[in-house]
Amino acid sequence: MRRWRLGGGVVVLVVLSAAVVRADEAKPAKGWDRSLALGVTLTSGNTDSSMFTGSVQGQRAWGKDDWRLGIEGAYGKTEGDLSTAKARAYEQYKRMLNERWYGTVVGDVVHDLLSDLSYRLTIGPGLGYFFIKSDLTKLSAEIGPSFVLEKLHGEGAETYCALRLGERFERKLNDSAKVWQSLEVLPQVDDWENFVALAEIGVEAALTKTFSVRLVAQDRYDNEPAPDKKRNDFALIGSLVYKF
């Protein structure tokens, strides 16, 4: 278990990205909806800083099934000192049971150097329900158990079970623009004070058939962070998106 440094988290990221490639090689006629997003922020003068963000996402829907994969990361420096260094990989598979209910399996691995989080791996099944399900609007909620493997810098790995509560809203504004919002909370089942939450809201608008601009606000909250670290971590990310 101690060999799961990151190391271990990076291996998971690579395995998930390789899964996207292998699945793409065997894709049916419809294939994957894939996108690459890159963002750069540079400042100079009173403050010299740089920030680089990137993400790769893939989604495929066929019949009653839906599979979404993604990798994202950020790296930045301010006045020569490291200010951001984090990465995340995630996946979600859904299987519709009827018009509203679906089963799902969700996996997520996070690394955040400045939060002293070597890795947090979360995986588990769930049951979901669409309150709204149309071509323009989707609103769903999910619940299920999760297995969590977590390691903070300088400490041993810890495992525990959590309850996953999730919600997602999507709305197409027109043929070239959409907005979305999601919230996920994972409390430890035998220690409700130990929980993490991730909230996201975003908007994307097309420039051409293959390029678009995206603005995403993310807020990650850890109620029991590493010693001397803050509970809240907020990011506002602007990106140029290429669909391929």
Mean pLDDT of 127-141: 97
In a domain? residue 2:
no
Decide if 3 is inside a domain: no
pTM of the model: 0.81
Task: Give the count of domains, the chain.
Answer: 1
Could you tell me if residue 113 is inside a domain?
A: yes
3-class DSSP string for the chain: CCCCCCCHHHHHHHHHHHHHHHHHHCCCCCCCEEEEEEEEEEECCCCCEEEEEEEEEEEEEECCEEEEEEEEEEEEEECCEEEEEEEEEEEEEEEECCCCEEEEEEEEEEEECCCCEEEEEEEEEEEEEEEEECCCEEEEEEEEEEEEEEEECCCCCEEEEEEEEEEEEEEEEECCEEEEEEEEEEEECCEEEEEEEEEEEEEEEECCCCEEEEEEEEEEEECCCCCCCCCEEEEEEEEEEEEC
In this predicted structure, the answer to whether residue 25 has a pLDDT above a threshold of 90 is no
Residue 181, domain member (yes or no)? yes
Is residue 94 a part of any domain in this protein?
yes
Domain extent, residue 61, equals 8-243
> Is residue 1 situated within a structural domain?
no
pLDDT value of residue 220: 95
**Could you report the per-residue pLDDT of 192-231, keeping only the tens digit for each?**
999 999 999 999 999 999 999 999 999 999 999 999 999 9
Domain at 128, CATH number: 2.40.160.40
Residue 102 within any structural domain of the chain: yes
pLDDT tens-place string over residues 38-72: 999 888 888 899 999 999 999 999 999 999 999 99
pLDDT greater than 80 at residue 23:
no
Instruction: Let me know if residue 65 belongs to a domain.
Output: yes
